[in-house]
Structure 1
Amino acid sequence: MYVTVIIFLLTYAVMAVGRIPGLQVDRTGVALLGAIALLVFQKITPDAAWAAVSFPTISLLFGLMIVSAAFMVSGFYDWVAARATSLSIGPRGLLAVMIATSAVLSSILTNDVVVVAMVPVIIQLCMARRLNPIPFLLGFCFASNAGAAGTIIGSPQNMIIAQGMNLSFTGFMIAALLPSLLSLVPIWGVLSFLYRNRWTLVAPAKPLQALPGPPPLNRLEVAKATLVTVLVIAAFVLTSWPRGEIALAGAAILLVNRTITSADMLKHVDGNLFILLGGLFVVNAALATTGLPQQIITDLHAHGFDFQHPLTLYVSISVLSDIVGNNPAALLLVPYVKAGNPEVSGAAMALGSAFASNVVVFGSLAGIIVVEAAEKHGMPISLAEFSKAGIPVTLLTMLIGAAWLLLLV
């Protein structure tokens, strides 16, 4: 038992720090190392380790990543970013468009893929217009996290929650979509206030570049990807077929292509995320065999702490998401949630992990992607600047989520 607990604690400690000090081992690497250590020390059998990995969750995530990748390789994301940024409106109006675009796309497609695809284009187009990219990047990031909370297909942690708790597509959306949309208002308001005098790009005087036009768009592939997406969502809503198999079927249709190679599609699948999730599935399963998590929950309940209450779950996953990340937090909590109203509890966890992840850069993969992309383009976003906007955004959106949950329970 002690070896298992030590490996578990060390794994999640590195999740919180980001990498093993003194070594080039990141969160994905340590999740894999933790799983290997448990196998080597025979704290979990190979069969139990394989059984611990949730194939329905992995297949759902993989299939939807392929669907989202189809929009990327067809030029859809670049085209949307170029269209939005070229609108003849003021900075505040453009910020509103960016926030709405991010939220809508992230609620339908995997939010991390949306951010990866669109952020570099947003930076280039903002600089071409002599606009400071930072408020638009922060707005896109915050809205991506918040908008993704509205549906079970918006983010990996939502898929983990929905699969682990067997939530319906419509039931989850009814419980989570409205606060997800309402949260966009404070995101716009906070950023509009903080950057009210900093919309213009501060740079040496240079001739103004011509704003690039929309990139080439493969309309046939966009139409095909859109049709598959509609059919996949319809199957989620109208049938009882396993969601993982539905997503894989949609991915298979898109992979059969005469113009786009499967390699071009598959390179947009985040393999590191699957390794991280697989490792954590094994680490968490090994800890569960010790009986320690169940004993802790029982003891907390005996002292008046109702772990199953939606507000408790909302706060718990919010705190954990900022410590270890939203995907590990969801994996850690879901197996121990036995709620009377699973849709409300699932929505509480999705909203909490999404809203809280905007506090710090490393609270979400979207935040990391935005900061790294800005750094590459010579527009660094410091941890302090990110949190200066992220903290008030998180506080306001968390209040919206808490008020909504109080109405539901």
Structure 2
Amino acid sequence: MTALVIFLVSYLGIAMGRIPGLAVDRVGIAILGAIAMVAFGAVSPQEAVRCIDFPTLCLLYGLMIISAQLRLGGFYTAAAEKVLKFSNRPRLFLLASMLLSAVLSALLANDIICFAMAPILAYSLKRAGLNPIPFLLGLAMSSNIGSASTLIGNPQNMLIGQVGRLSFEDFFFWAYIPSLFSLVAAFGIIAICYRKNLIIEKIETMDENDMDWPQFNRWQTGKGILAVVVLVGLYLTDIPRDLSTLSVAGSLLLSRTIKSREMMTLVDWHLITLFCALFIIIHGISLAHIPERVLEFLSQKGFELTQPVFLTGVSTVLSNFFSNVPAVMLMIPCLNKAIPEPWYILAVSSTFAGNLFLLGSIANLIVVEKASEHGVLISFKAHARIGIPVTILSLLVLIVWTWL
């Protein structure tokens, strides 16, 4: 009972994103929940250490280092500037920017892609006389959709791939089809909804003093791209993904120009801490056999998580209520490792669900925050106007794909 109470209070706080009267965020709430699990004896200190999936953390950490190499090498800046050449043809530019975002997010963490590209697009689009909002919404939507197609595209997929021991190539060949069709649907919805107001008044002069985008460096960017190519090749072998990722990331730290401290500052330590805390909270309710009781109850009512529609619906609701990483951690203990398809559905559906509302994905919040720094305000309503139909179509595509 103690573990259940701590779990419910922690997840309610995570869903709210705050504790009234206190300046504590989702990560802080998760940490307090993990501490409570240990302090009240639901999880022993030794179990708290053992239950943390360190291979998943190593994979996440290594990919952040590789992304940091590309960012500091100016790769994201150069990529955004290349796409801006299509700015005189707004719809083609929208398509090109969404394709770029989707591909990059499939290979690297989508949050970092949004963090790097959102300010560049917000500034450059205003200067080019284009309405930044549809293009920035396209960046957020496409980064989420693209990241769903691989096991390294976002944190929840990394976790699912590691815990479920999923094959990198098998998952890709299963997930890229619904991701591709969903990307086309997202482009079509944005192009239709903003068909009359893609263009605004051109701004000839804008202050560039606050721009701190890393300048393009051919050598440093080349190192980052080579690291990604080598990494994908290693993922197709039997070498553990966490070991491959750490090895490649470690080689990038051996640099004569980029300080390791600079790369470390771009690691999302808050996200890693959130993972650790959630592992402990979920382990606490697992020791109390709560997931098994819930599954038994659902089974008696005729609902099974092996049913694609039911699994997709539960994943979508929980991902928007708790955010996708906590939702995935909650559902993973209920899946059978011998049956890979439910793991595939959970990965793709929880990622697609992030587009439904503004708070459903960290990538969404990053785009909104970075855009606001350049005077571009994206409201909850503006996001929902695109996000709701995009998510509905994406999930329909996923369900049809599972039937096929």
TM-score tier (shorter): over 0.9
Larger mean CA deviation between 385-394 and 216-225 belongs to: 216-225
Task: Tell me the equivalent position of 1:297.
Answer: 295
1:398 is displaced (CA, Å) by 1.0
State the TM-score, normalized to the length of structure 1. 0.95
1:215 is displaced (CA, Å) by 6.9
Give aligned pairs, total: 401
Distance 1:114 1:206, change over 3 A: closer
CA contact (8 A) 2:87 2:128 kept: no
Does 1:329 pair with 2:336? no
1:51 is displaced (CA, Å) by 0.8
Task: Tell me the equivalent position of 2:62.
Answer: 63
Choose the corresponding residue for 1:280, options 250, 259, 278.
278
CA contact (8 A) 1:172 1:346 kept: no
Task: Tell me the equivalent position of 2:74.
Answer: 75
Task: Tell me the equivalent position of 2:233.
Answer: 234
1:95-154 deviations in Å (ceiling 9; x for gaps): 101110110000011111111011100101101102111100000100000000001011
Task: Tell me the equivalent position of 2:183.
Answer: 184
In the TM superposition, what are the counterparts of 1:99-114 in structure 2 within 5 Å? 99-114=98-113
CA contact (8 A) 1:16 1:325 kept: yes
1:227-275 deviations in Å (ceiling 9; x for gaps): 12111111111x2121111110011000111110001111111000011
Distance 1:207 1:260, change over 3 A: closer
Choose the corresponding residue for 1:308, options 283, 290, 306.
306
1:210 is displaced (CA, Å) by 11
Counterpart of 1:30 in structure 2: which amino acid? I
Does 1:164 pair with 2:163? yes
1:340 is displaced (CA, Å) by 4.7
Task: Tell me the equivalent position of 1:45.
Answer: 44
State the TM-score, normalized to the length of structure 2. 0.96
Task: Tell me the equivalent position of 2:9.
Answer: 10
Task: Tell me the equivalent position of 1:85.
Answer: 84
Task: Report the 3-state secondary structure (helix = DSSP H, G, I; strand = E; otherwise coil) of the residue aligned with 1:183.
Answer: helix
CA contact (8 A) 1:69 1:265 kept: yes
CA contact (8 A) 1:128 1:210 kept: no
1:208 is displaced (CA, Å) by 5.4
Counterpart of 1:353 in structure 2: which amino acid? S
CA contact (8 A) 1:11 1:31 kept: yes
Choose the corresponding residue for 1:352, options 349, 374, 377.
349
In structure 1, how many angstroms separate the alpha carbons of the residues matched to 2:366 and 2:207? 27
Counterpart of 1:258 in structure 2: which amino acid? R
Task: Tell me the equivalent position of 2:371.
Answer: 374
CA contact (8 A) 1:70 1:225 kept: yes
Distance 1:23 1:201, change over 3 A: farther
In structure 2, how many angstroms separate the alpha carbons of the residues matched to 1:339 and 1:248? 25
Runs of 4+ in 1 over 4 A off after TM superposition: 208-212
1:346-377 deviations in Å (ceiling 9; x for gaps): 22112101111111111001011011112222
In structure 2, how many angstroms separate the alpha carbons of the residues matched to 1:333 and 1:190? 31
Task: Tell me the equivalent position of 2:249.
Answer: 251
1:206 is displaced (CA, Å) by 5.4
1:339 is displaced (CA, Å) by 5.5
CA contact (8 A) 1:79 1:215 kept: no
Does 1:392 pair with 2:389? yes
Distance 1:193 1:301, change over 3 A: same
Counterpart of 1:387 in structure 2: which amino acid? A
1:317-355 deviations in Å (ceiling 9; x for gaps): 11111110111111111122016531x222211210111
Task: Report the 3-state secondary structure (helix = DSSP H, G, I; strand = E; otherwise coil) of the residue aligned with 2:355.
Answer: coil
1:26 is displaced (CA, Å) by 0.6
RMSD: 1.8
Task: Report the 3-state secondary structure (helix = DSSP H, G, I; strand = E; otherwise coil) of the residue aligned with 2:388.
Answer: helix
In structure 2, how many angstroms separate the alpha carbons of the residues matched to 1:299 and 1:196? 49
CA contact (8 A) 1:107 1:148 kept: yes
In structure 2, how many angstroms separate the alpha carbons of the residues matched to 1:291 and 1:207? 63
CA contact (8 A) 1:311 1:348 kept: no
In structure 2, how many angstroms separate the alpha carbons of the residues matched to 1:252 and 1:190? 42
In structure 2, how many angstroms separate the alpha carbons of the residues matched to 1:277 and 1:215? 29
1:17 is displaced (CA, Å) by 1.2
Task: Tell me the equivalent position of 1:271.
Answer: 269
CA contact (8 A) 2:150 2:172 kept: yes
Counterpart of 1:381 in structure 2: which amino acid? I
In structure 1, how many angstroms separate the alpha carbons of the residues matched to 2:59 and 2:206? 43
1:308 is displaced (CA, Å) by 2.4
Task: Report the 3-state secondary structure (helix = DSSP H, G, I; strand = E; otherwise coil) of the residue aligned with 2:375.
Answer: coil
In structure 2, runs of 5+ residues without a counterpart are none
Task: Tell me the equivalent position of 2:173.
Answer: 174
Task: Tell me the equivalent position of 1:401.
Answer: 398
